[in-house]
A and B are shown apart, each in its own frame.
Chain A
Amino acid sequence: MNYEPVIGLEVHVQLLTQSKLFCGCSTKFGEEPNKNTCPVCLGWPGSLPVLNEEALKLALKVGLALNCEISGRLKFDRKNYFYPDLPKAYQISQYDNPVNGKGWLEIEYKPNKAVILSPDAEASKMENPEAQGDSQKVQDDKKMITKKIGITRAHLEEDAGKLLHEGIAAASLVDYNRAGTPLLEIVSEPDLRSPEEAYAYLTSLKAILQYLEVSDCNMEEGSLRCDANVSIRKAGESKFGTKAEIKNMNSFKAVQKAIQYEIKRQTDLLESHERVIQETRLWNETKGQTFTMRSKEEAHDYRYFPEPDLVPFSISKETVEGIRKDLPELPVQRVDRFIKNYSLSDYDALVLVQDKQLANYFETAVAEKANPKLASNWIQSELLALVNSNKHTVETLPKFFPATYLAELLGLIENQTISGKIAKDVVAISYESGKSPGTVVKEKSLEQVTDTKLLESAADKIIAAHPKSVADFKAGKRQALGFLVGQLMKETQGKANPKLANEILVRKLS
């Protein structure tokens, strides 16, 4: 039996404000426990919340970038439940008049190969295009898939506090520093059909949020969190199956893996004629499985009602248009520009653009006269590999190997001072030592040997030393030439101009 997965994602993103959503407490991460609290966010009777204007503006920016309907009429509601991380026993959220209504987001990916953004350990494994501009890249044999994913809504709400359980017997500890921090909950339609589409959605969304500068999007610090609703149904069926809500993933890769696991689990259940139960499940990264969340709580009954402590809000068309006018260049526009101005492939443009800092690095190098196509290839292969193997980040790349260095290096290749092969060594040395590629080439005398006399005498030596290969070549075996060129390269420590070496050998052997 064939099954089709149906996936929807709920992303909570912390908005980059100085103060909390409804009070003047700082939103700074990593402070002493409970330092950033006040009567409002601790829910003291008699205290009144007042909306942070900047948080609303940031929310609207996201809404506009996600093509959301913005009615301009919004209010806040109480979502009631008891839990120690919620000091008031309700969360101020939005129920029926959210800031941002229906919208959409376009994802673009290659099947079986979602674009890896931040250079994690897998990035270099996923992408290792040859460094030379003319060599065909593996990933180009598959077409990019573009798909519109619906956004149900994106609403404002306050975050809860943080509970600590580990190592404490019979008690939990509570830190309310995070309670009241502005969150935007972005809910997708159940339009995603595979773990890789979910991954592509998250990377696109994260890129948009970073370009808008509305959030750090740091999953480790919890400024971006993602829950997944997963169900499966028989192929061709229009009704949805019973869904499970998956929580506790702390990276995009984990989201992808958790969904993958969940699809398999549900498929196995249906195949053995069992039922999928509607429940919340937690992803266990170490075990690579999802587990039922044991909870004695009764089914949630949040009893939403309008928050009487906050007045309603109406935002004028002019305000919304003013924010729209000030939106920065968004990833999708930058991708178009990269394709148009720099003749990059869709895929290359997307990989660069989805990481804002990487795209900035690329554009700096190009401004320094680097060949765009070569710059893109070198960034995606050698440079990201160095960043990964040193456990650095794209953010610190310019510190170790400034974009001006990349332009210089590509210049050295283009004017044939060094070969592409030697250039790889130069990058590594340069990255390590901080010396510019030009300096490295000079200090280590890595200039390509284009001295014909020198190459000819080396060629004579090789021909004399390998009579069998010479005979093979003369008998018509082309591979023998490759061997002899290799020997000549070796003789010159890789510095011979390969084209010249080839020519000289062919001339001498015919």
Chain B
Amino acid sequence: MSFEIEKIAGLARLHLKPEEAAKLKNDLEAILGYVKKLETLDTQNVSPTSHVLEIENVFRPDQVNPSQVRDEVLKHAPGREGNFFKVPKVVDK
């Protein structure tokens, strides 16, 4: 099983210490090993599960329901300017 723990951590914006990386690598290997075992099962006639609950079609009607949480949220934001959230400068996508 080959994967780069640093790459996965990078994608998740996690900064790992070397000992943490080593431990997580072991854990992930164990999980993937178990998945490998599952893959030996015959699933030919089993449809893929996309949700664990046996319900479907939960909708809401198209109605506006204002929550008015803005000021409360902005109060807890690391940075704000007026009614905007303020974040470190990003290059445009």
Contacts and interface: CB of A to CB of B under 8 A. Distances in A.
A53 B57 CA distance: 9
Interface in B21-44: none
B15 to A, nearest CB: 13
A25 B70 CA distance: 12
Interface in A283-325: 293-296, 298, 301, 303, 306, 308, 310-314
Contacts of A303: 11
B93 A34 contact: no
A26 interface: yes
Nearest to A306: B50
A176 B70 CA distance: 10
Size class of A's contact patch?
35 or more
Contact of B87 (A84, A294, A311): A84
A312 B60 contact: no
- DSSP class of B's interface residues: helix, strand, loop or mixed? loop
B54 to A, nearest CB: 9
Contacts of A38: 66-67, 69
A500 interface: no
Contacts of A176: 85
B87 A19 contact: no
Given A24-B66, A42-B73, A75-B51, A173 B60 contact: no
A311 B14 CA distance: 29
B60 A172 contact: no
Given A171-B86, A308-B51, A50 B67 contact: no
A312 B48 CA distance: 12
- DSSP class of A's interface residues: helix, strand, loop or mixed? loop
Interface residues of B, number: 38
Contacts of A19: 62-65
B69 A37 contact: yes
Interface of A: 17-19, 23-26, 32-39, 42, 50-56, 75, 80, 82-84, 97, 163-165, 168-176, 282, 293-296, 298, 301, 303, 306, 308, 310-314
Given A83-B90, A168-B89, 10 more contacts: A25-B67, A52-B61, A165-B89, A169-B89, A173-B81, A173-B85, A293-B92, A298-B11, A311-B53, A313-B57
A295 B66 contact: no
A173 B84 contact: yes
A312 to B, nearest CB: 5
A33 B82 contact: yes
B91 to A, nearest CB: 6
A168 B86 CA distance: 10
A310 B52 CA distance: 11
A18 B66 contact: no
Given A164-B84, A311-B53, A53 B61 contact: yes
29 contacts: A19-B64, A24-B66, A26-B64, A33-B82, A34-B70, A35-B83, A37-B70, A38-B69, A50-B60, A51-B58, A51-B60, A52-B60, A52-B61, A53-B61, A55-B62, A56-B59, A82-B13, A84-B87, A163-B92, A168-B89, A171-B81, A171-B86, A172-B86, A172-B88, A173-B86, A293-B92, A295-B93, A306-B50, A312-B50
A175 B84 contact: yes
A23 to B, nearest CB: 8
Contacts of A84: 85, 87, 90
Contacts of B52: 308
